[in-house]
Amino acid sequence: MGVNRFEDLRVWQAAKTQCDRVGALINRPEFLTDRPLRDQMNDASISVTLNIAEGFLRRKDGETSQFLRYAFASNGELKAAFYVAEGRKYISRESFSALIDSNEAIARMLRRWQSTLTVDQKNTQRFGVRGRTKDQGPGPRTPDQGRTEDQGRTEDQGRTKDQAPRPKD
């Protein structure tokens, strides 16, 4: 028996609970004075929940994988915000630990789901998804290919012969 609604997904339920906890957390007085952190946490927690739902509704492995990557990234962003909140003493060490445990459980569920998707090479190029087949699992992370060192600004090579000379100031 399969899942027919995103609301039935355990990962979505966990993300929704996390989002609700963040909603309650950011209404505490400590967060009311730190609007950038509050807004970032709110946006990230909402993004996790919405991207899981949208990924489920896409019904194509390549597209689903892309939205699960977005959800995973937003979940990581929220985890970083929990560290910031704990460092600023907005949350207790105990609350922090519970939030991190929940966040990491969501990350594991997202990765497990992603590992079950088959992303063919045609969709990989179209959607920018680097997927692995069901048999391969998530696989090891590799360094980004094709990135270059910052080369700095290019010197002006002057005007081409087709261009009119610049007027003097």
Return the CATH number at 80: 1.20.1440.60
Q: Identify the pLDDT of residue 134.
A: 45
Assess if residue 32 is contained within a domain. yes
Q: How many domains does the chain have?
A: 1
Question: Is residue 157 one of the residues assigned to a domain?
Answer: no
Neighbours of 62 (CB within 10 A): 21
Q: Cβ distance 45 to 22 under 8 Å?
A: yes
Whose tokens are 């194509």? That residue is 60
In a domain, 153, yes or no: no
Q: Report pLDDT for 160.
A: 60
pLDDT at 159: 56
Q: Residue 47: its pLDDT value, please? A: 98
Asked if residue 12 is part of any domain, the answer here is: yes
The token duo for 132 is 């692995």
> What whole-number distance in Å separates Cα of residue 159 and Cα of residue 131?
46
- The answer to whether position 140 is within a domain reads no
Q: Name the residue range of residue 94's domain.
A: 6-127
Confirm whether 42 is domain-assigned.
Answer: yes
Classify residue 134 by its DSSP letter. Answer: T
Low-confidence residues in the chain, pLDDT < 50: 123, 125-127, 129, 131-138, 141, 144-145, 147, 150
In a domain, 158, yes or no: no
Residue 89 inside a domain? The answer is: yes
Instruction: Find all residues with CB under 8 Å of 133, minimum gap 6, and list them.
Output: 118, 119
